[in-house]
Amino acid sequence: MSREDRERMGRAGGSGNRKVRRGPRRFTISMQKRLVVVFLMVLTAFILLAFRLILIQRDNGRTYTMQVLSQQEYNNKSLPYKRGRITDAKGTVLADSQLVYNVIIDASQIMEKDEYLEPSLNAAERLGINKEELRAYITKHPGSQYYIAFKNLPYQDKRAFDKEVEEGIEAEQEAQRKAVEEAEKAGKEASEAEKVELVYSNIKGIWFEDNYIRNYPCSTLAADVIGFTVGNNIGSFGLEEYYDDTLNGVPGRTYGYLDESLNIEQTTIQPTDGNNLVLTLDANIQSICEKYLKEFNEELKDHKHKGNGSNNAACIIMDIDTGGILAMASEPGFDLNNPYDIAAVAGMPKLNEKDAPTTSYMTEGDAQALSDADRSRYLNALWSNYCVSAHYEPGSTAKPFTTAMGLETGTLKKSDKFQCNGTLLVDGTYINCAHLEGDGLLDISGAIERSCNVALMQEAMKIGPETFCKYQNVFNFGLKTNIDLAGEARTDDYLYQAEDMADIDLASNSFGQNFEATMIQMASGYCSLINGGYYYQPHIVDRITSPGGSTVQINSPRILKKTISEETSDLIREYCIQAVEGEHATGKLARPAGYRIGGKTGTAETLPRGNGQYVVSFLGFAPADDPQICIYVVLDRINNKKQDEAGRACILARKILTEVLPYMNIYMTEPLTDEERLELEELGLYDTNKPSSEEEETGDAQ
């Protein structure tokens, strides 16, 4: 079909059914003008908005910034963790963290309506908050949303307050409901019901924030061992300081933020509580030690002079075969729940400018009159643990160590004998024995039994300074034991080096003078003398557990070194038993009824010589045939005219062992005298002990 034919057919089709094909729509000048106008209008709006934001920032920026910061303070808070607890070996809680509450006031909420103010102030007053002081604060800071008005509200007080408010609101709601019902019965609208006075429902802006405070249920028990916390869960002294990182947890936090709809959303990261300490220490054994130390203090208090029964009185009981501390007690003590009570320093010796004790003593008036700086000095002296922080000349308790050195190196034989005429000339100086009349010819065992200085000096001369100094280090004198307690003292500055040791120094060191040690050094070294020569690192924490109770770490007994052989240990044990049981024994008063023990007394004159002041002690083990515990009692400058009475330390050791050994299920092996039976009956111990073998044979019941 030609183009002409198609054109003719198209024209013949008529205009009614004809479709007209049009070209693309044109963007006319008119449309372009309208678009430019719209664009200019939008641009102008943006410019005006930007200008307005600049003006807001200039004129009100600080105000809005403060509001944002206030909102952040309100919605971003630290959540406290619970510091780990400390328990003894049998689960007795010695330190714990108690849940308390801070009372928080939201002044902005209280000031929303006038009717909120008085009910809220009255409610706050019932929580122990000063009503008028709080009113002044709210009036001055009406926009405040976070104000700590009261700290450490006990749980029971918070619970009672919550219950009162809850019941009050329920009562008001019930009264409102009844008023509405009565109005409806009377044919009135609910809005015409009798108005109920709202008190509890109008309490606003008071809420509670969790907090923890450290609590010590046993108060004074093992105070200088446990230590306490200051400030924001910072451990101070004792276990609290040494295991501070272990006991502390990680705080949580709540984060507040605005979502897309400008609603406040919160995210909470829960706190992680601290781990717990389970000790080797036994609270019952500790209590026995503290009871008799306090009894001693009361007996001699104000005796020769105004002041405590001694400058210090202390006792360590230690497991011979593990190094675990079963008890560590000292007097004077303090209350862990009130460690800053300055009255506790009354009776202590006054301190000189170097914090050393003088011969004058603190009265209650002196204690109250102390300046802030002096108060800190005296409290630090009170808080320190004498058993690990103090050093002194140990006296004759060092004699078994000297003898062990000679036996172990072969420079001494158990058959060796030494003549004592009451004094010995060394480097031109006469050094006396305790018995000026002389002890005569003594073997090694007799020298320990009689505590003969002259015999020990002769032993040391045979040993020589090099071997002597070497073995002092072997027994850990001069070195820290690294017991897990804060404040352990070093004593290396108080020991001689072999090249600097003259004969007179060697002689005086042989019987425990002219060098210094700590109680924990002496007790740990002595355990190795008795247990076959195994030196265990002393420790007081048995294991660490998680907040849930699972074991995190076990402090297994740790042998650090071998000090002497089994053979030498057997001989030293035999000599120390003789020092308690022998005819001329100095430690007779230490033997508890029904038991055999071993040990050695000590009497050391303090510096300057001739001042009449002494440290006396008893260092022993029990029972004799199967040593399980070491006991060390030290009395520092007894408040008595005559201070060099080691027998007082022996008596204390006997009283403590009389109760501790039965408690540990260590049974009697020796027959009792009538006097001993009476003593045990008075203590309530007579019927609790297994009969001795002799009495079993005769049918006598014990």
Which tens digit of pLDDT belongs to each residue from 350-365?
999 999 999 999 999 9
What value does the mean pLDDT of the chain take?
89
Confidence of residue 422 (pLDDT cuts 50, 70, 90): very high
| Largest interatomic CA distance in the chain | 163
Same structural domain for residues 372 and 407?
A: no
**CB–CB of 211/457 below 8 Å?**
no
Residue 17 has pLDDT above 60, yes or no: no
The percentage of the chain sitting over the pLDDT mark of 90, rounded to a whole number, equals 73
At residue 232, the pLDDT reads: 81
Same structural domain for residues 173 and 31?
A: no
Same structural domain for residues 411 and 359?
A: no
User: Does any domain span residue 246?
Assistant: no
| Whole-number Cα distances in Å, 699 to 256, 676, 695 | 80, 19, 6
Residue carrying the six token digits 């004058």 = 360
User: Does any domain span residue 493?
Assistant: yes
pLDDT in tens, 59-87: 665 555 545 544 444 456 788 999 999 99
Same structural domain for residues 46 and 137?
A: no
Same structural domain for residues 117 and 28?
A: no
Question: 422-429: long-range contacts at Cβ-Cβ below 8 A with a sequence spacing of 24 or more?
Answer: 422/454, 423/454, 424/453, 424/454, 424/457, 424/458, 424/507, 426/457, 426/503, 426/504, 426/507, 427/502, 427/503, 427/504, 429/504
User: Does any domain span residue 311?
Assistant: no
pLDDT in tens, 598-626: 999 999 999 888 888 999 999 999 999 99
User: Does any domain span residue 701?
Assistant: yes
Question: 683-687: long-range contacts at Cβ-Cβ below 8 A with a sequence spacing of 24 or more?
Answer: 683/658, 683/659, 685/658, 685/659
The percentage of the chain sitting over the pLDDT mark of 70, rounded to a whole number, equals 89
Cα separation of the two ends of the chain: 143
- The number of distinct structural domains making up the chain is 5
pLDDT in tens, 479-525: 999 999 999 999 999 999 999 999 999 999 999 999 999 999 999 99
Domain boundary among 384, 399, 426: 384
Could you tell me how far CA 509 lies from the centroid of its own chain?
A: 36
Residue carrying the six token digits 């009170």 = 382
Confidence of residue 54 (pLDDT cuts 50, 70, 90): confident
User: Does any domain span residue 226?
Assistant: no
- 682-696 mean pLDDT: 58
- Could you tell me the residue range of the domain that residue 687 belongs to? 676-702
User: Does any domain span residue 640?
Assistant: yes
CATH of the domain at 601: 3.40.710.10
Same structural domain for residues 666 and 680?
A: no
The count of C-alpha atoms lying within 13 angstroms of the C-alpha of 90, restricted to the half-sphere facing its C-beta, is 7
* CA gap 110, 124 in Å, rounded: 12
Same structural domain for residues 163 and 198?
A: yes
Same structural domain for residues 477 and 622?
A: yes
At residue 14, the pLDDT reads: 46
pLDDT in tens, 157-196: 999 999 999 998 998 888 888 877 777 777 777 666 667 7
User: Does any domain span residue 373?
Assistant: yes
Same structural domain for residues 654 and 686?
A: no
Q: Answer positive or negative: Cα dihedral of 408, 411, 412, 415.
A: positive
| Whole-number Cα distances in Å, 116 to 109, 119, 143, 206, 602 | 8, 6, 15, 11, 74
Q: Of 653, 519, 513, 516, which is closest to residue 592 (Cα–Cα)?
A: 653
- SS3 state of residue 545: strand
Same structural domain for residues 497 and 441?
A: yes
Confidence of residue 19 (pLDDT cuts 50, 70, 90): very low
DSSP state of 392: B
- 3-17 mean pLDDT: 48
Confidence of residue 16 (pLDDT cuts 50, 70, 90): very low
Same structural domain for residues 685 and 662?
A: no
At residue 192, the pLDDT reads: 63
**CB–CB of 517/391 below 8 Å?**
yes
**Length of the chain measured in residues:** 702
* CA gap 338, 373 in Å, rounded: 19
User: Does any domain span residue 63?
Assistant: no
- 149-156 mean pLDDT: 92
| Whole-number Cα distances in Å, 220 to 215, 278, 286, 332, 365 | 12, 18, 11, 10, 23
Same structural domain for residues 605 and 649?
A: yes
**CB–CB of 673/628 below 8 Å?**
no
